[in-house]
Amino acid sequence: MKKHFIKIDLKSINKNPNAGSEIDYLPGKTECRFSTKKLPDDFIDGENCYVVREETMIGDGSIRIEGIITDKELIDNILQNKRKDIELIMKREIIEVRHLPEPPYFYDYENITLKCDSCNREFDSIDIKSEEVWDGENEFYSDRVCPYCNSFDCCEIDYETIEEALKRLELLVTK
């Protein structure tokens, strides 16, 4: 049985500008709030909007109504017609996502020809599959599944580490 060695493609190594970062900020859903003096006729409370607050101003006795629009068509209608009877305030939620620290480098592995120990067929290393199987008692996982005969751990592979690849890169540069 041959042990395959897959090297990192040196040209593919890139420094990760966010190395070490553990937080991502993702855009969440947008909430469309409105404020008006009089609820327009096409605003139906509980159907395409929710009135959250209605208050009478102490000074001039005018009324101010605030709420949230829940219907996208109504929002489009207001934006497209540049309606003056309503004031829109779009609020976009920002979601904080924590994850493991990002790696210092991004890279791809070279594509080499592998040979399955079960069916003896050859295939590209990028075509190797991973699979998990539950037999009712145990879960089996393999990241070396033959694309032809589906046998698990179909060949032995050593992957070059990023440290080894960086060392190779250094030698190339200093030569």
CA distances from 46 to 32, 33, 49, 102 (A): 15, 14, 6, 45
User: H helices of the chain, where?
Assistant: 72-80, 162-174
Bridge partner residues of 23 (DSSP): 98
CB of 114 to Zn ion, least distance (A): 10
CB of 169 to Zn ion, least distance (A): 34
Bridge partner residues of 91 (DSSP): 31
Torsion of CA 72, 73, 79, 82, to 10 degrees: -150
Q: Which of 148, 153, 162, 169 binds Zn ion (CB under 5 A)?
A: 148
Q: Specify the stretch interacting with Zn ion by CB under 5 A; choose among 24-32, 99-107, 116-124, 125-133.
A: 116-124
Q: Which residue has the tokens 């897959």?
A: 6
Taking CB under 5 A as the criterion, which residues in 13-72 touch Zn ion?
Answer: none
Interface with Zn ion, residue 127, by CB under 5 A: no
Interface with Zn ion, residue 152, by CB under 5 A: no
CB of 1 to Zn ion, least distance (A): 13
Interface with Zn ion, residue 119, by CB under 5 A: yes
Interface with Zn ion, residue 146, by CB under 5 A: yes
Residue nearer to Zn ion on the CB measure, 48 or 118: 118
Interface with Zn ion, residue 155, by CB under 5 A: no
What are the structure tokens assigned to 95, written together?
């979601």
- CA atoms in the 13 A half-sphere facing the CB of 102: 15
Footprint on this chain of Zn ion (rule: CB under 5 A):
116, 118-119, 146, 148-149
